[in-house]
């Protein structure tokens, strides 16, 4: 008999085990309010058939959601969403993401670390100006007590020295750096949550996150810092509005509209 192949990617293909992939799918459905508290989620056999995975895979995914307090499992009755409240999803546009210094005084912001760190190899490859070590500010941002963003600002040694980040008031130096930003080049991808992101954003290890890496430059085009932001896709999203300019029909171009 030919074995049916799972509709979820294999570990080798995706780098994330199948139960975490299923957990992510169900987690997003719960966040979107697809399952109301009065309506049961698909049964274990239904999930096995729908996603072509083992019963063990389904049970491990449901166990994670139960640990997070997202679902209620009733023996002989079914599995239910524990609340019908839909998480509000914060909208960020290209302008709103940048320009603010990462200061602990910001509402909902907690500074986790301010210290020199080793720069990840992938960042060094993309931005050699950072060097092997940089001054880093790591912070987590929350809304109504729920974390939605984990961010690290990497400042190269030259900028750290110029803005006095290794001495005196670091907050003042970061605020001055933020005011000197004149250009932003960002790259958006999806990554799996590591142990740190899992703890700070309260998601399972391997859960998908939205990652934005942005190079911040001054008026001369020199690199001032690199921001790396991880966003929970169920609690934050990117949103921009485009409009055509009023030039001739043959030259009309799409432009970002200011908020």
Say if residue 99 is in the same domain as residue 223: yes
Give the confidence band of 11 by pLDDT, cuts at 50, 70, 90.
very low
- In a shared domain, residues 77 and 96: no
Domain contains 52: yes
User: Is 61 in the same domain as 16?
Assistant: yes
Whether 99 maps to a domain, the answer reads yes
Q: Do 36 and 128 belong together in one domain?
A: no
pLDDT value at position 7?
Answer: 61
Q: Is residue 136 part of a domain?
A: yes
pLDDT bin (cut points 50, 70, 90) of residue 2 is very low
The torsion region of residue 18 among left (phi > 0), alpha (psi -120 to 50) and beta comes to alpha
pLDDT at 1 over 50: no
pTM, full prediction: 0.72
Q: What are phi and psi of 57, to 5 degrees?
A: -60, -45
Beta-bridged to residue 236, according to DSSP, are: 90
117 close to 226: Cβ distance less than 8 angstroms: no
Count of beta carbons in the 10 Å neighbourhood of residue 241: 10
> In CATH, what number is assigned to the domain containing residue 51?
1.10.10.10
Task: List pLDDT tens digits, range 65-90.
Answer: 888 788 888 888 889 888 655 556 78
Taking residue 250's Cβ as centre, other Cβ atoms within 10 Å add up to 5
Do 120 and 43 share a structural domain? no
What mean pLDDT is reported for the chain? 82
- The closest of 174, 110, 184, 178 to 142, measured between CA atoms, is 110
Residue 163 and residue 41 share a domain = no
For residue 180, what are the domain limits? 90-239
Q: Which two tokens stand for residue 224?
A: 């001032």
Which residue, 34, 54, 81, sits at the end of a domain? Answer: 81
Residues 17 and 122 in one domain: no
Q: In terms of pLDDT, which residue wins out, 207 or 179?
A: 179
Average pLDDT over residues 82-108: 66
Q: In total, how many domains does the chain have?
A: 2
Is the same domain home to 141 and 215? yes
| DSSP letter for each residue of 117-153 | EEPPHHHHHH-GGG-SEEEEEEEEEEETTEEEEEEEE
The answer on 98 and 207 residing in a single domain is yes
- Give the CATH number for residue 170: 3.40.1410.10
Distance between CA atoms of residues 102 and 98, nearest Å = 10
Share of the chain above pLDDT 90, in %: 37
**What digits encode the pLDDT tens for the residues 189-237?**
988 889 999 999 988 787 889 999 999 999 999 999 999 999 998 888 8
């Amino acid at each position: 008999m030919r074995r049916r192949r799972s509709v979820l990617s294999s570990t080798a293909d995706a780098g994330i085990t199948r139960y975490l992939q299923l957990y992510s799918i169900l987690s997003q459905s719960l966040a979107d309010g697809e399952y109301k508290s009065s309506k049961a989620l698909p049964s274990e056999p239904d999930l096995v058939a729908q996603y072509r995975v083992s019963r063990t895979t389904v049970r491990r995914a449901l166990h994670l959601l139960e640990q997070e307090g997202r679902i209620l499992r009733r023996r002989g009755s079914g599995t239910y969403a524990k609340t019908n409240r839909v998480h509000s999803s914060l909208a960020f546009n290209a302008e709103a993401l940048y320009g603010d210094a990462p200061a602990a005084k910001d509402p909902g912001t907690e500074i986790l670390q301010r210290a020199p760190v080793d720069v990840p190899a992938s960042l060094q490859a993309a931005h050699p100006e950072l060097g092997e070590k940089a001054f880093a500010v790591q912070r987590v941002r929350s809304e109504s007590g729920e974390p939605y963003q984990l961010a690290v600002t990497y400042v190269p040694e030259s900028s750290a020295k110029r803005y006095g980040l290794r001495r005196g008031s670091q907050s003042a130096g970061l605020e001055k750096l933020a005011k000197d930003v004149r250009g932003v080049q960002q790259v958006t991808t999806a990554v799996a949550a590591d142990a740190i992101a899992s703890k700070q954003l309260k998601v399972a290890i391997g859960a998908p996150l939205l990652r934005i890496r942005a190079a911040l430059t001054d008026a001369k085009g020199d690199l001032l810092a690199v921001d790396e932001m991880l966003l929970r896709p169920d609690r934050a999203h990117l949103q921009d509005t485009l409009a055509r300019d009023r030039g001739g029909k043959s030259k009309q171009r799409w432009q970002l509209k200011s908020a």
